[in-house]
Amino acid sequence: MNHESLLHISKREGLVWWQAWLIRLASLLLGMVVSAAFIYTITKLNPVRVYAAMWDGAFGTTRRAWVTTRDAMMLLCIGVGLAPAFMMRFWNIGAEGQILMGGCATAAVLLYAGNAFPSWLLLLLGALVSVLAGALWGIVPAFFKARWNTNETLFTLMMNYIAIQITCFLVAKWENPKGSNSVGIINSRTQAGWFPSLFGQQYVMNVILVLAIAVLMFLYLRYTKQGYEISVVGESENTARYAGISVRRVLIRTMAISGAVCGFSGFIAVSGSGHTISVDTAGGRGFTAIIVAWMAKFNTFVMILIALLLVFLEKGAIQIASQFQLNDYASNVVEGIILFFLLGSEFFIQYDLRFRSHSHKKEVQA
């Protein structure tokens, strides 16, 4: 019934990289126009001033610029963690849970050993346990996937909520002061187990750690045998088996790495930024990072750009919201709109659209 269709869709043959980026940029601009229109309808604020205010919210002061950088690094770290899993076509929707487990493990170290060990040892221990906890949270669904082909999208999704409840349990257990329903700032007096300030800036260490992980992951995925195995399994499990790769082992190993990096970002969130633990330690970033990793096509450097863009939108929209007494959720709306456009734009990069004219059709028939 579609043989008369006016549109002809075909796969594009190799688009030059800058053309692809031009399409993405155009869709980003289109998304920003629609978002501005949306903000205009509820605030009646001049759209140009909207983005000026957003810029101010994200980078207006040195402090704001650092917070924006810190949050972008956090998002980047999670995205980097997800990259190997996605490259393997393993849908790890469980970053949220892996972050929380890493964060809880770190918080436990800071709370129980805060007075017993020097700060550098606490940091080392915190990093270690967070990596282990995150890896564990990644291995469980991978094991079932490898053994019985259990659907990993749904499994990892459920693991998030188990992690969230464990976090709520620990928050209630560690509550300080009693009745506040929060853990409060851990070791606020001694600052034991906190990231030290480097070069007079609080968040320099976050940047260094995350960028190091990003570079290492890039090298791992591109230049090592294990990275190659991941991409073969992602392309086709049968090919991988034929080539003598143990698919089960690759699945479990890769998810251990993926979970470990996500767990490590929980460590950064607790030791390096929030100094507390709650479900907001992850706060939906595990889900946002999925979008970051996917849109960057697993390229860790492109992820930096996308992570920065998303955090910029978030901070900017929060600024506008507070100026107009709206709540922070305005940022999620703007984020959603822009992501819809970016997601849609991939189609125009992958496929070529041609309208069939009548004369052309006759030509074909003749």
Partner 1 sequence: MTQLISLLTSAIVFGTVILYGAVGEILTEKSGNLNLGVPGIMYLGGIAGLAAAFLYETHAAAPVGAVGLVLSFLAAIVASALGGLIYAFLTITLRANQNVTGLTLTIFGAGLANLFGGSLNAMAGGVGQIHVAVTSQAYRAYIPALAGLGRVGQLLFSFGFMAYLAILVALTASWFLNRSRVGLNLRAVGEDPATADAAGINVTRYKYMTTCAGAAISGLGGLYYVMDYIKGTWTTDSTIEALGWLAVALVIFATWKPARAIWSAYLFGVLYWAYNYIAGLSRASIELFKMLPYVVTIIVLVAVSLRRSKESQPPKSLGLSYFREER
Binding residues (CB under 8 A) for partner 1: these are 1, 9-11, 42, 91, 93, 144, 148-151, 153-155, 157-162, 165-166, 168-173, 284, 287-288, 290-291, 294-295, 325-327, 329-337, 339-340, 343-344, 346-347, 350-351
Q: How far apart are CA 200 and CA 270, in angstroms?
A: 20
Closest approach of partner 1 to the CB of residue 212, in Å? 27
| 354 beta partners | 8
| 352 beta partners | 10
Buried b (16+ CB within 10 A) or exposed e, 159-198: bbeebeeebeebbeebeeeeeeebbeebbeeeebbbbeee
Length of the chain: 366
Closest approach of partner 1 to the CB of residue 87, in Å? 14
Closest approach of partner 1 to the CB of residue 232, in Å? 20
Closest approach of partner 1 to the CB of residue 351, in Å? 8
Q: Which is nearer to partner 1, 115 or 350 (CB)?
A: 350
Rounded-to-10 torsion of CA 257, 253, 100, 216: 0
Closest approach of partner 1 to the CB of residue 162, in Å? 5
Q: Which is nearer to partner 1, 26 or 212 (CB)?
A: 26
Q: Which is nearer to partner 1, 131 or 317 (CB)?
A: 317
CB 143 within 8 A of CB 215: no
* Main-chain dihedrals φ then ψ at residue 222, nearest 5 degrees: -95, -35
Nearest to 116 by CA among 190, 45, 64: 190
Residue 101 is encoded by which pair of tokens? Answer: 């487990």
Closest approach of partner 1 to the CB of residue 125, in Å? 24
CB 76 within 8 A of CB 296: no
Q: Which is nearer to partner 1, 230 or 317 (CB)?
A: 317
* Amino acid identity, position 137: W
Q: How far apart are CA 60 and CA 297, in angstroms?
A: 31
* Main-chain dihedrals φ then ψ at residue 181, nearest 5 degrees: 60, 30
Q: For tokens 């993926």, name the residue.
A: 258
Q: Which is nearer to partner 1, 211 or 279 (CB)?
A: 279
Closest approach of partner 1 to the CB of residue 286, in Å? 10
Closest approach of partner 1 to the CB of residue 200, in Å? 36
- Give SS3 for 175: coil
Rounded-to-10 torsion of CA 120, 125, 131, 135: 180
Closest approach of partner 1 to the CB of residue 184, in Å? 16
| 355 beta partners | 7
Q: Which is nearer to partner 1, 120 or 169 (CB)?
A: 169
Residue 282 is encoded by which pair of tokens? Answer: 């992850």
Nearest to 55 by CA among 330, 283, 309: 309
Q: Which is nearer to partner 1, 204 or 333 (CB)?
A: 333
